[in-house]
């Protein structure tokens, strides 16, 4: 294959370099994939970009782990021009990828506010509730009647032939205003539900993002230890070749390397769950890549519990809903009282009269105009009394539910503070333990390098250090989850 392109290798020029990039791109990608086999989930992803020569170039978007450019020489050989081109290629695509895919929880939350279908539906329901106000604040429709006399009624001025009438009913003054206030108050319930949903949506995004962060950084921790174990394996192989160590040392470290490599593959499979959860909340394709960047420190809770409880009771939308629903019930009671009062009606009738033929009285055949009024008196009162009692019971039930929900929030906040305290103690423990283990490993590495002893202890401590690093990571993530749950009660 390379002989076909031999003329291009004789002269150093940019066109030849571009062609070399196109020709060797697939081979380089294969080597990279082999080098990071099973660990590409948090380091790179591949895509294709058309080059100037028409070839399709594999590109690698850098994610949470920086690309190791010192390996480029092993992959591309001694061709310095090709190395330079590929380095610029990786940097350029890496910057684009970081910009597109690396997003903070707050950025993802802003996307969810625009795209989440459930939130869209709730906003539409709120708008629909507001349209009820003009429906209940208008007068009843007027009634128009038309009639004819099959057997005409004879009067002094002639026989009545046809009747046209109109009637308009009027409720007790203030009824329409109260009905409008009631439906507008009902619409406020949707506002609080939307606010509560947004709080929960933000919490779900943050927790899913933290789960993704934990998996990715767990992979990073294991990969870092794999590098050290690989170096330890080479040292053991050197010792075995020199007759200063047993082949069992090489086999033991090789077993540990295989075990950790398999753990990385397992973590790769675990990445799908938080990724799918995030994409579902953002209403986008479930396979869309979500990248996490940066390093999290231990999260502190800056809220005092007593003031937090008071704030939650006064302002949390999930509790405010109950107060608004009680207001709706009170408005309903007022509307019910108004409905129990008389309603009035005004009307007019126009009756046509035919002229008499047997005589000609004054105003012969003059039509009739009648003005009338009506009064509707609600005599049967049981339904109004029952409605009053119904609303009073609703208010009591809502008060009990509000108290139960408040107690539930209090217990959850107490649990969150307990979890945060546990995370802090865990964090402090493993932070100190890691320092001790690292110091011990350095001593044992020196002993093994100089005297070929302590290899078993060294392997055990390496495994222990991985566990400690993972526990420290879990403690950090737990602290941020606790902070996110507290914010679910105070940020609105």
Asked if residue 106 is part of any domain, the answer here is no
DSSP string, 308-351: HHHHHHHH-HHHHHHHHHHHHHHHHHHHHHHHTS-EEEEEEEEE
Asked if residue 332 is part of any domain, the answer here is yes
Alpha carbon distances (Å) from 67 to 60, 221, 362, 485: 10, 16, 112, 35
Cα–Cα distance between 358 and 355 in angstroms, integer?
A: 9
Q: Looking at 113-117, 148-152, 419-423, 475-479, which range is the least confident one?
A: 148-152
Q: How confident is the model at residue 273 (pLDDT cuts 50, 70, 90)?
A: very high
| CB 463, CB 192: distance < 8 Å | no
81: part of which helix (H) or strand (E)? helix 80-101
At 174-212, the pLDDT tens digits run: 999 999 999 999 999 999 999 999 999 999 999 999 999
DSSP string, 53-71: TS-EEEEE---SS---GGG
Say which DSSP state 381 is in: -
Judgement on whether residues 188 and 87 belong to the same structural domain of the protein: no
| CB 227, CB 126: distance < 8 Å | no
pLDDT computed for residue 390 by the predictor:
95
Mean pLDDT, residues 293-302 taken together: 88
Per the structure, the complete domain to which residue 255 belongs is given by 113-137+174-340+380-490
Asked if residue 108 is part of any domain, the answer here is no
Judgement on whether residues 329 and 358 belong to the same structural domain of the protein: no
Residue 17 pLDDT exceeds 50: no
pLDDT computed for residue 3 by the predictor:
38
pTM: 0.71
DSSP string, 283-300: TS-TT---B--S---PPP
Q: How confident is the model at residue 102 (pLDDT cuts 50, 70, 90)?
A: low
Task: Quote the tokens at residue 422.
Answer: 């546990």
Q: For residue 374, what are the contacts with CB-CB under 8 A and spacing of at least 6?
A: 167, 169, 344, 345, 346, 347
49: part of which helix (H) or strand (E)? strand 46-50
Mean pLDDT, residues 5-31 taken together: 41
Judgement on whether residues 30 and 95 belong to the same structural domain of the protein: yes
Quote the number of domains for the chain: 3
Q: How confident is the model at residue 452 (pLDDT cuts 50, 70, 90)?
A: low
Average pLDDT over the chain, rounded to whole?
80
Judgement on whether residues 386 and 373 belong to the same structural domain of the protein: no
Judgement on whether residues 191 and 235 belong to the same structural domain of the protein: yes
Asked if residue 107 is part of any domain, the answer here is no
The better pLDDT of the pair 48, 369 is held by: 369
Judgement on whether residues 85 and 222 belong to the same structural domain of the protein: no
Asked if residue 432 is part of any domain, the answer here is yes
Alpha carbon distances (Å) from 380 to 219, 358, 386: 76, 52, 12
Residue 83 pLDDT exceeds 90: no
Asked if residue 133 is part of any domain, the answer here is yes
Judgement on whether residues 189 and 234 belong to the same structural domain of the protein: yes
Asked if residue 27 is part of any domain, the answer here is yes
Q: At which of 80, 101, 122 does a domain end?
A: 101
Cα–Cα distance between 122 and 128 in angstroms, integer?
A: 10
Q: At which of 101, 122, 153 does a domain end?
A: 101
Spell 447-461 as b/e; 16+ CB within 10 A means b. ebeeebebbeebbeb
Asked if residue 214 is part of any domain, the answer here is yes
Mean pLDDT, residues 3-30 taken together: 41
pLDDT computed for residue 150 by the predictor:
87
Q: How confident is the model at residue 108 (pLDDT cuts 50, 70, 90)?
A: very high
Judgement on whether residues 73 and 161 belong to the same structural domain of the protein: no
Cα–Cα distance between 221 and 472 in angstroms, integer?
A: 11
DSSP string, 134-181: HHHSSPPPPEEEEEEEEEEEEETTEEEEEEEEEEEEEPSTTHHHHHHH
Mean pLDDT, residues 222-230 taken together: 89
Q: Looking at 104-113, 145-154, 164-173, 455-464, which range is the least confident one?
A: 455-464
Judgement on whether residues 364 and 336 belong to the same structural domain of the protein: no
Judgement on whether residues 159 and 304 belong to the same structural domain of the protein: no
Judgement on whether residues 471 and 418 belong to the same structural domain of the protein: yes
Judgement on whether residues 29 and 51 belong to the same structural domain of the protein: yes
Q: At which of 73, 101, 129 does a domain end?
A: 101
Residue 20 pLDDT exceeds 70: no
Look at strands 158-170 and 343-353 and give their pairing: antiparallel
């Amino acid at each position: 294959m390379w002989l076909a392109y031999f003329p291009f290798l004789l002269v150093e020029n940019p066109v030849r370099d571009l062609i070399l990039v196109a020709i060797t791109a697939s081979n380089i990608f294969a080597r990279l994939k082999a080098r990071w086999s099973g660990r590409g989930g948090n380091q790179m992803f591949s895509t294709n970009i058309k080059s100037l020569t028409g070839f399709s170039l594999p590109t690698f978007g850098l994610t949470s782990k920086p690309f190791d450019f010192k390996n480029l020489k092993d992959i591309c050989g001694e061709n310095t021009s090709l190395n330079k081109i590929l380095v610029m290629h990786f940097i350029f695509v890496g910057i684009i990828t970081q910009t597109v895919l690396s997003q903070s929880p707050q950025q993802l939350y802003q996307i969810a506010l625009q795209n989440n279908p459930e939130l869209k539906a709730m906003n539409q329901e709120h708008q629909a509730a507001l349209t009820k106000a003009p429906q209940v604040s208008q007068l009843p429709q007027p009634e128009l009647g038309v009639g004819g006399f099959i057997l005409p009624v004879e009067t002094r001025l002639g026989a009545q032939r046809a009747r046209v009438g109109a009637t308009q009913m009027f409720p007790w003054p203030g009824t329409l205003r109260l009905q409008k206030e009631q439906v507008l108050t009902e619409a406020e319930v949707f506002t609080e539900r939307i606010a509560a949903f947004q709080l929960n949506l933000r919490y779900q995004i943050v927790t899913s993002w933290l789960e993704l962060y934990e998996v990715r950084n767990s992979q990073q921790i294991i990969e870092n230890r794999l590098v050290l174990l690989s170096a330890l394996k080479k040292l053991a192989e050197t010792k075995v070749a020199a007759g200063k160590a047993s082949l069992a040392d090489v086999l033991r470290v090789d077993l540990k390397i295989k075990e950790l490599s398999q753990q990385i593959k397992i973590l790769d499979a675990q990445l799908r769950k938080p990724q799918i959860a995030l994409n579902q909340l953002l209403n986008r394709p479930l396979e869309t890549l979500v990248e996490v960047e940066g390093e999290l420190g231990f999260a502190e809770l800056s809220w005092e519990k007593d003031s937090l409880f008071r704030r939650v009771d006064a302002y949390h939308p999930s509790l405010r809903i109950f107060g608004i629903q009680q207001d709706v019930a009170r408005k309903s009671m007022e509307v019910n009282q108004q409905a129990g009062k008389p309603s009035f009606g005004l009307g007019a009738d126009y009756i046509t009269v035919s002229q008499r033929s047997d005589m000609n009285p004054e105003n012969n055949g003059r039509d009739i105009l009648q003005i009338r009024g009506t009064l509707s008196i609600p005599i049967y009162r049981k339904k109004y009394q029952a409605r009053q009692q119904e609303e009073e019971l609703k208010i009591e039930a809502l008060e009990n539910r509000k108290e139960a929900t408040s107690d539930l929030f209090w217990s959850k906040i107490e649990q969150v503070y307990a979890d945060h305290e546990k995370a802090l103690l865990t964090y402090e423990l493993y932070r100190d333990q890691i320092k001790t283990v690292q110091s011990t490993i350095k001593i044992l590495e020196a002993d093994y390098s100089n005297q070929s002893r302590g290899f078993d202890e060294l392997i055990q401590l390496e495994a222990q250090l991985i566990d400690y690093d993972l526990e420290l990571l879990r403690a950090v993530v737990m602290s941020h989850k606790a902070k996110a749950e507290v914010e679910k009660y105070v940020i609105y």
